[in-house]
Structure 1
Amino acid sequence: MPRTALDRRSTYRVLSAFVLLTLTAGAVTACAGDDATHEEAASPGAVASGTSRLHMITHDGHRLAFHVTQGDDRTIVLDSGGGEDSSYWKDLVPELHADTGATVITYDRAGLGKSDVVPGPWQVESAVGDLESGLRQLGVTKNVTLVSHSQAGEIAAYFAKDNPRMLSGAVLVDANLPQFFTDEEIPRLVAATAPQVEAAKKDPEKPENRQLISTADGFVAAHRGFHKVAWPDAVPATVMVSEKTPLDGSPVDARRWRDAAASFVQAGPGRTLVTAEGSSHDVPKDRPDLVLEEIEDMVAPQQ
């Protein structure tokens, strides 16, 4: 069946949402003492009434919303894809908490959800610094299972490189991986996303458009840098790939996406490749059962 104009716009939307996030790797400057004050409040409409609390963390002059469902000393951190805030995980959090007994944390990256907007271009080192500082201010320094969907895979790669001892494992859910961003692929992505970038500029205050605009500049150099990032061998990882991939409209790019996942898994020990049968790029919504299973398998047993 021929693809409609709406189908094509949807494909461009997904492309722009998952590829435009990173700049070159930089040193993470956040530490436990940076702006180490935060507020706590009950989270209205929380994922499970009475179990989730909103912590407003201050880091580098801006406030970030972290939602914590308290459990034991193991922590599951759920990081959403491009343009999505912490509410993306609202259906999975109570099940993860009930099944594992672990602490479950979701958060809003800068400019999304309840977190402050940070002017200027998106910088991955800032995103990594926000996450690291937030976790340290919450007292989380080890036994973390990082779950990263789509665009958040880039934050995961830099975070794991800089903080391997904090992580007990990661589940990368149809996530951006360094192996995908080759010199052949980057220009194709730039061309595919150009119409969406221009469309976003017509409504720049919309959160997902604001993120897209702020990260479009410098995309080529940023992803050439990301391509060189190596995942640490000490951190086991499960790589989940959707059956359709986020590039379902382009067989060439979809194949490269799958090949990149396979290459990532083969590049180091403790890595597993899982295909989410019947799923679009939106794996946590299409196959929540499989996502829950893989996260629960990765969570370190309580000591």
Structure 2
Amino acid sequence: MSRTAPNRRSVHRALSALALLAFTAGAVTACSDHAPATRPSPSRSAAAPSSPGTRQAGGAQLHMIDNNGHRLAFYVTRGNGSTIVLDSGGGEYSSQWKDIVPRLHAATGATVITYDRAGLGKSDVVPGPWKVASAVSDLKAGLGQLGVTKDVTLVSHSQAGEIANYFARDDPEMLSGAVLVDANLPPFFTDEEIPRLVAATRPEVDAAEKDPDKPENRQLISTAEGFAAAHRAFHKVTWPDSVPATVVVSEKTPFDTSPEDARRWRDAAAEFVRRAPNRTLVTAEGASHEVPTDRPDLVLKEIEDMFAAQH
């Protein structure tokens, strides 16, 4: 029986490690390189800088955070004692949230933080394959050095869903709630689905293997080799019942050319929500996987609602 293969470009945007490294290799071209546009607030910030911040256009301050020998760019729009962290999708910079940050800050009064993951934006490149443990460490280090230790509303798109799940599992006391925007979720990465995802990215890996000495190709090859094991482990991660979550799933999903994979994506979101009574499922009608761009008003509303429910 024939089946439709997942759209490779959409798959890259949804996968974690492969999404990031395929972007570096030029397989994905859906990000921008400018700093997030935000505006200042006279309120006191919960995020005390670890080093003098550099004022960016619109009011956010850039703080360069050190972690394990590399530096990461964190952008802080100062507010009151609560913090909202916006974590971008695979291959995206902090600027993915540039239109949402000022509106969110104005609506909630909270400190709003965005950042560039390693190898993107103003953050240093880290050699070797992308690893979710390293990404979680970077986020924790940034928040810790900025003085953020509790009352965080975490908003995660796509790839960042993996970071969010490990972060919540390890440090649930830091989170007051989460909004997972068409995010990678453990129930999706089954033994049946993982081989399909690997197959969808195989052409890029094959191309990289023709020039294995090229740095980005070495990274892509290394990550592809470990992808299945990493995501079998991710499949077993459990979100803590103490942290409420809103799951926003796009109508088109990352697999708009593959009904089977699209169904599995939606089913995984529904399964994740069913596992605890403090989780809500929202469908972003008409939206592609790029929900923050396609439906910014919806994303803003769900963040505001989650924030209000916890304060």
TM-score (norm 2): 0.83
For residues 1-40 of structure 1, what are the alpha-carbon distances to aligned partners after superposition, in whole Å with 9 as ceiling and x for unaligned? xxxxxxx99x312212321329xxxxxxxxxxxxx95452
C-alpha contact 2:88 2:157 (8 A) present in aligned 1: yes
Distance 2:219 2:252 in 1: 25
Instruction: Return the letter of the residue paired with 1:287.
Output: R
Distance 2:140 2:219 in 1: 20
Match of 1:129 among 125, 129, 137: 137
Distance 2:243 2:132 in 1: 20
Distance 1:200 1:81, change over 3 A: farther
Residue aligning to 2:169: 161
Distance 1:74 1:211, change over 3 A: farther
C-alpha contact 1:81 1:148 (8 A) present in aligned 2: yes
Match of 1:275 among 277, 280, 283: 283
Residue aligning to 2:270: 262
Distance 2:223 2:142 in 1: 22
Work out whether 1:21 is the aligned partner of 2:17: yes
C-alpha contact 1:83 1:211 (8 A) present in aligned 2: no
C-alpha contact 2:161 2:185 (8 A) present in aligned 1: yes
Distance 2:16 2:285 in 1: 26
Match of 2:106 among 94, 98, 107: 98
Match of 1:217 among 210, 225, 232: 225
Once the two structures are TM-superposed, the CA of residue 118 in structure 1 deviates from its matched residue by: 0.5
Residue aligning to 2:118: 110
Distance 1:197 1:85, change over 3 A: farther
- Unaligned stretches of 5+ residues in structure 1: 1-7, 23-35
* Aligned residue pairs, count: 275
Distance 1:212 1:82 in 2: 14
For residues 126-145 of structure 1, what are the alpha-carbon distances to aligned partners after superposition, in whole Å with 9 as ceiling and x for unaligned? 11011011001101111100
C-alpha contact 1:146 1:167 (8 A) present in aligned 2: yes
C-alpha contact 2:79 2:110 (8 A) present in aligned 1: yes
Secondary structure at the residue paired with 1:218?
helix
Distance 1:38 1:19 in 2: 34
Instruction: Return the letter of the residue paired with 1:72.
Output: N
For residues 41-63 of structure 1, what are the alpha-carbon distances to aligned partners after superposition, in whole Å with 9 as ceiling and x for unaligned? 122xx3xx2x2000000111100
C-alpha contact 1:16 1:196 (8 A) present in aligned 2: no
Instruction: Return the letter of the residue paired with 1:190.
Output: V
List aligned pairs for 1:2-151, cutoff 5 A: 11-21=7-17, 38-43=51-56, 46=57, 49=58, 51-151=59-159
Instruction: Return the letter of the residue paired with 1:123.
Output: K
Distance 1:41 1:227, change over 3 A: same
Instruction: Return the letter of the residue paired with 1:117.
Output: V
Distance 1:172 1:200, change over 3 A: farther
Distance 1:71 1:292 in 2: 17
Match of 2:246 among 222, 225, 238: 238
Distance 1:37 1:255, change over 3 A: same
For residues 213-255 of structure 1, what are the alpha-carbon distances to aligned partners after superposition, in whole Å with 9 as ceiling and x for unaligned? 5632300000000000000000000000000000111000000
For residues 119-166 of structure 1, what are the alpha-carbon distances to aligned partners after superposition, in whole Å with 9 as ceiling and x for unaligned? 011111111011011001101111100000001100000000011000
Percent identical: 71
C-alpha contact 1:21 1:123 (8 A) present in aligned 2: yes
